[in-house]
Every structure is written in structure tokens, then in C-alpha cells.
Amino acid sequence: MKETITLLKECDSGCKTALDSMEQVMKHVTSEGLRNEIIECRKRHGGLEVRCRMLLDEAGEKEGNPPAFGSAMMRAGTGIRLAMDDGDDRIAEMMVDGAAMGMKSIAKVMNACPRASEQSRGLAADLIREERRFHDSMLRFI
């Protein structure tokens, strides 16, 4: 059960971080294609976050949250990068980097939690697939 909770909290944290990043860059996006891609990805991440919350609730656990310091640093770093260059190509590059970090983070915890429930492992696999899809879709905007 402990491994299941660990994996679910990592998935929840990953979804929240991704959603926050997408929200932060949206006001800088000028391309309709890039905007639409990010909007669609936000919807899919939102659905994954809801699934994750339901599984956490079933386990009697609270939602996972990105560490406050890490979240603040991520937002500050994104803000600084956008202040220096807020072109769509730079935004897409930042989204590619974030998706790659998300895949790595979820895979690492998934591999460290082999006894996590099938539902939590399925959610983690779906999140990794979504991050990969988003990563690949952003490459055309770089």
C-alpha cells in the first residue's frame, strides 16, 4: 500500500506541475496551433489528475503537492526564461523539457515501487504516455 501511495502522490504532483506550467505560459503563446495543442494537453492532464485524486481518496490519502520551494523555483525559472525570450519556439522548448522531466520522474518512482497497485501503475503508464505525446507534439513548434 505504501508503494501505491508513493506512486499516486508522484503522479498527482506531476499533473499539478504540468498544469501549472501550461497555465503560466499560455498568456505568452501567439500561435493558434501551439495554443490549441497546450489546451488539449491541459484537458488530458486534468483528466489524469482527477483519476489520481480518486485513487488517492479511495486509499484515504490526501493529494500530493509539488514541494513548495521546488514549485516556487520552477515558476520563477519559467518567468525568467519567458522574460528573456517568450517566443512560441522557446515556449515549446520549455514544454518539451518539462515533459521529458515528467516522464523521467514518473518512470523513476514507478520502477522504485514494483509492488504498487495495478491501478496506480496503469495511471503512471498513462501519464508517461501523455507526457511523451505532448513532448513529441511540441517538437514541431521549436
pLDDT tens track for 73-123: 455 455 545 545 568 999 999 999 999 999 999 999 999 999 999 999 999
SS3 65: coil
Domains identified in the chain, total number: 1
C-alpha 19/C-alpha 42 separation (Å) is 6
For the beta carbon of residue 4, count every other beta carbon within 10 angstroms: 20
Checking if the pLDDT of 52 tops 90, the result is: yes
In 3D, which of 90, 81, 80, 82 has the Cα closest to residue 141? 90
In 3D, which of 16, 9, 128, 129 has the Cα closest to residue 75? 16
Can you give the CATH number for the domain in which 58 is found?
A: 1.20.1260.10
pLDDT tens track for 10-44: 999 999 999 999 999 999 999 999 999 999 999 99
Task: Dig out the grid coordinates for 99 from the structure.
Answer: 515533459
Global confidence as pTM: 0.84
Domain assignment of residue 65, given as a range: 2-141
Amino acid at 22: M
